[in-house]
């Protein structure tokens, strides 16, 4: 048996939500069919659609360790190193199938991080968070839900801890404790796929101290809970989607979105609370989530596959694919992309079992992988733009190509190799533009830089986790400075 939804069922499940969403200063009445939001919904729907294709079943589905039923891997708790490796391969696959952010990794990573931390809190404090969490997890798996993992707070004055902020809402916090639950206020920023989610899982964003205990809170709520408001973020070239299904969008089918999620005195029942003032476990939750999510950037390898394919095609359309420097640049793109894949596979294959039974990636290697992600996609994009040429950003619109007045000139002067239609050439150039400069660039480039923490966050973790003393010891030993272990 399984409870796997298909793409159509997922779409219909979103229509049942009553989300309070604003964009361009106005409330969005029909979130599912809005032309700017719809491509991002299509990308999430793909994670449902492809689970039903036999060739992808092994990567996109798993066996629930709670019920034994077949579930979507995006709702799975990793039970082995093999699960961690399959997660990396799944990310690359979905990135290649959508060429954008498909928005489910952050929820998956939040679930896995909480499965470890709730168990650890219970072990020390005698609480029952893990029991609550497992009941919630069973609900998510049974209903095949999309979870938005919400960690990043606005932060206000970065030099001040949460409890010293002039405006306490700069970090989400508890404002009232009741017999039946808690009330919270604040916001979570940069929320990937928020309005395409059924649930929102909140976690603290930094290590909290005793004085910040009101900010040490984690919980889950339905996405349309009273008091939650979504304000959609802007993306480069986003209003092209209002022009209809034209190839000027670059990616004809899929996209991503980010949102600011505001919590205005939102009630959370106790059964949905997974951390409450246990500030001593915020570091573990933040760092484990970050490690999982840094592994998740396997998706950029999949988008890189698409960009490399588009660049090779553009070179062939231009008649330049045999030039030695073009060949060499394509090789460089592939070398960089496959190096990224090495990183996400390495941190997965070196994973280990935590006390909760959940498998965690190698945290050092996950941070090294994400550090490479902050760099290599930018170089891959630079090479793609180099080979594509300036027409990528100066070509006329599709309307000009279709126009009786200008179409003949666009066809004539933007044709290239014989046998290749001008339209096909313009389509592939628009795809490259989309991935490296347009709406998809949010997911491929800016997200590569700042998603799962800024580059400096990874460097701090690398410095902390590398065994520098051991490296020095073996160096001294081999050159005769030390006679033994000193």
Q: Whole-model pTM?
A: 0.95
Among 346-355, 367-376, 439-448, 477-486, which is the least confidently predicted range? 477-486
Instruction: Indicate the helix (H) or strand (E) that contains 20.
Output: none
pLDDT (average), residues 179-194 = 98
Query: How many CB atoms within 10 Å of residue 253?
Result: 16
Determine, yes or no, domain membership for 465: yes
**Tens digit of pLDDT for each residue in 65-88?**
999 999 999 999 999 999 999 999
Determine, yes or no, domain membership for 449: yes
Q: Which residues are catalytic?
A: 101, 105, 192, 258, 293, 297, 299, 447
Query: What is the pLDDT at residue 485?
Result: 53
Query: What is the pLDDT at residue 2?
Result: 66
> Residue 402 is encoded by which pair of tokens?
């279709």
Determine, yes or no, domain membership for 435: yes
CA geometry: angle 336, 342, 343, nearest 5 deg: 95
pLDDT (average), residues 134-138 = 98
Indicate the burial class of 469 (C-beta count within 10 angstroms; 0-12, 13-18, 19 or more).
exposed
Residue 1 has pLDDT above 80, yes or no: no
**Tens digit of pLDDT for each residue in 20-58?**
999 999 999 999 999 999 999 999 999 999 999 999 999
Overall residue count recorded for the chain in this entry: 486
Residue 119 has pLDDT above 90, yes or no: yes
pLDDT (average), residues 297-303 = 97
Residue 110 has pLDDT above 70, yes or no: yes
User: Residue 266's closest CA among 205, 195, 200, 167?
Assistant: 200
Across 202-226, b (16+ Cβ under 10 Å) vs e yields: bbbbbbbeeebbbbbbbbbbbbbbe
Q: Which residues contact 282 (CB under 8 A, 6 or more apart)?
A: 204, 206, 207, 208, 216, 275
Query: What is the pLDDT at residue 14?
Result: 98
What gap in Å lies between CA 27 and CA 351, rounded to an integer?
A: 44
CB 92 within 8 A of CB 260: no
Query: What is the pLDDT at residue 439?
Result: 87
Task: Give 246's pLDDT tier (boundaries 50, 70, 90).
Answer: confident
The residue segments making up the domain with residue 320 are 294-476
Determine, yes or no, domain membership for 82: no
Helix, strand or coil for residue 481? coil
Determine, yes or no, domain membership for 384: yes
Task: Give 484's pLDDT tier (boundaries 50, 70, 90).
Answer: low
Strands 181-188 and 173-178: antiparallel
User: Residue 311's closest CA among 254, 417, 386, 246?
Assistant: 386
User: Residue 359's closest CA among 83, 15, 30, 58?
Assistant: 83
Q: Domain tally for the chain? A: 1
User: Residue 141's closest CA among 54, 67, 83?
Assistant: 67
Q: What is the CATH number of the domain that holds 342?
A: 1.20.140.10
Determine, yes or no, domain membership for 77: no
**Tens digit of pLDDT for each residue in 404-454?**
999 999 999 999 999 999 999 999 999 999 999 988 888 899 999 999 998
What gap in Å lies between CA 486 and CA 478, rounded to an integer?
A: 13
3-state secondary structure 425-468: HHHHHHHHHHHHCCCHHHHHHHHHHHCCCCHHHHHHHHHHHCCH
Residue 362 has pLDDT above 90, yes or no: yes
Residue 486 has pLDDT above 70, yes or no: no
The residues pairing with 266 across neighbouring beta strands, listed in sequence order, are 184
CB 234 within 8 A of CB 23: no
Query: How many CB atoms within 10 Å of residue 43?
Result: 28
Q: Mean pLDDT score of the chain, rounded to an integer?
A: 96
Determine, yes or no, domain membership for 153: no
Determine, yes or no, domain membership for 426: yes
pLDDT (average), residues 162-191 = 98
pLDDT (average), residues 287-304 = 97
Q: Which residues contact 154 (CB under 8 A, 6 or more apart)?
A: 170, 171, 187, 189
18 vs 441, higher pLDDT: 18
What gap in Å lies between CA 486 and CA 483, rounded to an integer?
A: 8
CB 308 within 8 A of CB 337: yes
416 secondary structure, DSSP code? -
> Residue 194 is encoded by which pair of tokens?
């928020």
CB 104 within 8 A of CB 71: no
Helix, strand or coil for residue 401? helix
CB 162 within 8 A of CB 22: no
């Amino acid at each position: 048996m399984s409870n796997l939804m298909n793409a159509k069922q997922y779409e219909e499940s979103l229509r049942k939500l009553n989300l309070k969403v604003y964009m361009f200063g106005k409330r969005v009445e029909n979130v599912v069919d809005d032309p700017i939001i719809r491509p991002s919904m299509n990308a999430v729907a793909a994670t449902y659609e492809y689970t039903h294709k036999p060739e992808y079943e092994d990567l996109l589905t798993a066996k629930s360790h709670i019920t034994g039923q077949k579930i979507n891997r995006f709702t799975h708790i990793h039970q082995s190193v093999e699960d961690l490796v399959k997660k990396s391969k799944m990310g690359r696959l979905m990135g290649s199938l959508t060429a954008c952010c498909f928005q489910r990794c952050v929820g998956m990573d939040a679930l896995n991080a909480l499965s470890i931390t709730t168990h650890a809190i219970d072990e020390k404090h005698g609480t029952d968070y893990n029991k609550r969490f497992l009941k919630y997890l069973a609900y998510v798996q049974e209903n095949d839900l999309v979870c938005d993992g919400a960690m990043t707070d606005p932060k206000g004055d970065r030099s001040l801890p949460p409890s010293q902020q002039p405006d306490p809402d700069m970090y989400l916090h508890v404002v009232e404790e009741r017999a039946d639950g808690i009330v919270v206020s604040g916001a979570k920023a940069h929320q990937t796929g928020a309005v395409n989610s059924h649930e929102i899982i909140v976690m603290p964003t930094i290590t909290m101290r005793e004085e910040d205990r009101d900010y040490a809170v984690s919980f889950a709520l339905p996405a349309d809970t009273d008091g939650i408001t979504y304000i959609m973020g802007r993306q480069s070239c986003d209003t092209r989607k209002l022009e209809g299904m034209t190839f000027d969008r670059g990616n004809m089918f899929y996209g991503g979105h980010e949102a600011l999620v505001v919590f205005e005195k939102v009630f959370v029942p106790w059964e949905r609370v997974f951390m409450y003032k246990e500030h001593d476990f915020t570091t573990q939750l933040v760092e484990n989530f970050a490690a999982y999510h840094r592994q998740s950037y396997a998706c950029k390898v999949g988008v890189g596959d698409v960009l490399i394919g588009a660049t090779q095609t553009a070179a062939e359309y231009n008649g330049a694919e045999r030039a030695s420097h073009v060949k060499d640049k394509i090789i460089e793109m592939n070398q960089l992309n496959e190096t990224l894949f090495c990183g996400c596979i390495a941190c997965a294959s070196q994973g280990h079992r935590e006390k909760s039974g959940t498998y965690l990636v190698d945290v050092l290697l996950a941070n090294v992988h994400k550090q490479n992600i902050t760099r290599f996609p930018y170089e891959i994009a630079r090479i793609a733009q180099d080979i594509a040429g300036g027409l990528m950003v100066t070509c006329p619109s599709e309307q000009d190509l279709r126009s009786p007045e200008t179409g003949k000139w666009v066809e004539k002067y933007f044709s290239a190799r014989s046998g290749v239609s001008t339209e096909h050439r313009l389509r592939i150039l628009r795809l490259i533009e989309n991935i490296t400069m347009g709406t998809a660039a949010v997911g491929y480039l800016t997200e590569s830089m700042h998603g799962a923490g800024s580059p400096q966050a990874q460097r701090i973790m690398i410095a902390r986790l590398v065994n520098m003393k051991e490296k020095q010891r073996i160096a001294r030993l081999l050159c005769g400075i030390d006679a033994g272990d000193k």
